[in-house]
Chain A
Amino acid sequence: MTDRLESREKVTGAAKYAFEYAVENAAYAAAVQASVGKGQVRSVDTEAALRLPGVLAVLSCENAPNLGDVPDGELALFQSRTVSYRGQFVAAVVGETLETAREAARLVRIEYAEEEPDVRLRTDHPGLYKPDKVNPVFPSDTEQGKPEDAFRDSPLQVDVTYTTPAEHNNPMEPHTTIAQWNGDETLTLYDSNQGASTVQSTIAQVFDLDPTQVHVVSPHVGGGFGSKGTPRPNVVLAAMAARAAGRPVKFAVPRQQMVATTGYRTPTIQRLRLGADADGRLNAILHEVSEQTSTVKEFAEQTATPTRVLYKAPHRRTSHRVVALDVPTPSWMRAPGETPGVYALESAMDELAVAAGIDPIELRIRNDTDHEPGSGLPFSSRNLVACLREGADRFGWAGRAPEPGVHWEGRKLVGMGVASSTYPAYQRPNKAMARAEHDGTFTVRIAAADIGTGARTALALIAAETLKEDLGNVKVEIGDSAFPRASVAGGSAGTASWGTAVVRACEALRGKMNGAVPPEGIEASADTGDELKARDEYARHAFGAQFAEVEVDADTGEVRVRRMLGVFAAGRIINPKTARSQFIGGMTMGVGMALMEESVMDTEFGDYLNRDLAQYHVPACADVRDIDAVWVEESDPHLNPMGSKGIGEIGIVGAAAAVGNAVHHATGIRVRDLPITPARLLTAL
Chain B
Amino acid sequence: MDSEVTPVHADITLRVNGTEHRLSVDTRASLLDVLREDLGLTGSKKGCDHGQCGACTILLGGRRANGCLALAVAHDGAEIVTVEGLAQDGRLSPVQEAFIENDAFQCGYCTSGQLCSATAVLDEAENGWPSAVTTDLGSDPALDDDEIRERMSGNLCRCGAYVGIVAAVREASQRKEAAEA
Contact = CB atoms under 8 A, between A and B. Distances in A.
B149 A621 contact: yes
A452 B42 CA distance: 18
B173 interface: no
B74 interface: no
Contacts of A12: 43, 83-84, 86-87, 92, 96
Given A252-B46, A588-B162, A614 B52 contact: yes
B6 A53 contact: yes
B4 A52 contact: yes
A4 B106 CA distance: 9
A584 B109 contact: no
A625 B153 CA distance: 12
A619 B149 CA distance: 12
B100 A613 contact: no
Nearest to B113: A172
Contacts of A573: none
Contacts of A620: 153-154, 156, 162
B160 interface: yes
Given A172-B157, A614-B50, A11 B107 contact: no
Interface string B82-104: 11101100001000100111010
B104 to A, nearest CB: 9
B36 interface: yes
A622 B151 CA distance: 8
Interface string A95-123: 00111100100110000000000000000
A169 B29 CA distance: 28
Nearest to A584: B163
A11 B92 contact: yes
Contact of B40 (A22, A52, A581, A589): A22
Contacts of A492: none
Contact of B4 (A51, A99, A454): A51
Interface stretch (A217-225, A303-311, A600-608): A217-225
B175 to A, nearest CB: 15
Nearest to A20: B42
A16 interface: yes
Interface string A36-75: 0000000000001001111000000000000000000000
A107 B148 CA distance: 45
B46 A11 contact: no
A99 B26 contact: yes
A640 to B, nearest CB: 23
B110 interface: yes
Contact of B149 (A453, A582, A622): A622
Given A171-B109, A222-B108, A612-B52, A585 B47 contact: no
Contacts of B50: 255, 612-614
A451 interface: yes
B160 A589 contact: yes
A623 B165 CA distance: 13
A123 to B, nearest CB: 32
A3 B4 contact: no
Interface in A621-638: 621-625, 627-628
Contacts of A624: 149, 160, 162-163
A451 B107 contact: yes
A557 interface: no
A585 to B, nearest CB: 3
Nearest to A225: B158
B31 interface: no
Chain B interface extent, by class: 35 or more
A220 B101 CA distance: 20
A678 to B, nearest CB: 18
Nearest to B82: A13
Nearest to B107: A452
B169 to A, nearest CB: 9
Contacts of A4: 100, 103, 105
B109 A173 contact: yes
Interface in B31-73: 33, 36-37, 40-50, 52-53, 55
A619 B165 contact: no
A97 B4 CA distance: 16
Interface string A213-243: 0000000111101000000000000000000
A54 to B, nearest CB: 7
B4 A48 contact: yes
Nearest to B42: A20
B100 A3 contact: yes
Contact of B106 (A8, A53, A453): A453
A407 B155 CA distance: 34
B36 A172 contact: no
B181 to A, nearest CB: 26
A155 interface: no
B29 A99 contact: yes
B5 interface: yes
A623 to B, nearest CB: 8
A17 B84 contact: no
A171 B107 contact: yes
Given A173-B107, A255-B49, A100 B92 contact: no
Contacts of B177: none
Interface string A582-594: 1011111100000
Nearest to A579: B103
Contacts of A172: 45, 47, 53, 55, 107, 109-110, 156-159
A13 B67 CA distance: 15
A612 B48 contact: yes
A587 B163 CA distance: 11
Contacts of A254: 49
A516 interface: no
B110 to A, nearest CB: 5
Nearest to A617: B156
Contacts of A48: 2, 4
Contact of B159 (A7, A54, A452): A452
B14 interface: no
Contacts of B7: 53-54, 97, 99-100
B28 interface: yes
A152 interface: no
A19 interface: yes
Contacts of B36: 19-20
A578 interface: yes
B2 A581 contact: no
Given A48-B2, A172-B53, A613-B53, A11 B111 contact: yes
11 contacts: A12-B83, A17-B45, A172-B53, A174-B46, A221-B107, A223-B109, A255-B52, A612-B48, A612-B50, A613-B156, A620-B162
Given A589-B158, A621-B148, A623-B162, 6 more contacts: A7-B100, A10-B108, A172-B107, A174-B46, A584-B160, A589-B160
Q: Which 4 A-B pairs have the closest CB atoms?
A: A13-B43, A222-B109, A452-B107, A588-B160
